[in-house]
Amino acid sequence: MRRGLAAVCVAIAAWLAFSALGSAAVEDATSVVVVAANVPAGTSLSEDDLIVEARPIDDQPNGAIVDPNEAIGATTSHPLQSGEILTALDLSYRDWLDEGQLAISVPVADPLILRAAEPGQRVDVWTAGLPEPLAQDALVLGQSAPTEAPALLIAVDVVAAQHLSTHGLSATTAIVAIRSNSPTPSE
d(CA 168, CA 156): 16
CATH architecture assigned to 2-90: Alpha-Beta Complex (3.90)
Q: How many CB atoms lie within 10 A of CB 118?
A: 22
Please give the model's pTM, rounded to 2 decimal places. Answer: 0.57
Going along the chain, which residue ranges are E strands?
29-35, 50-56, 101-107, 122-127, 135-143, 151-157, 174-178
pLDDT at 63 over 80: no
Instruction: Tell me the helix, strand and coil percentages in the chain, rounded to 5.
Output: 30, 30, 40
The pLDDT value given to residue 2: 57
d(CA 35, CA 86): 6
Q: How confident is the model at residue 48 (pLDDT cuts 50, 70, 90)?
A: very high
pLDDT tens by residue, 130-159: 888 999 999 988 887 666 778 888 999 999
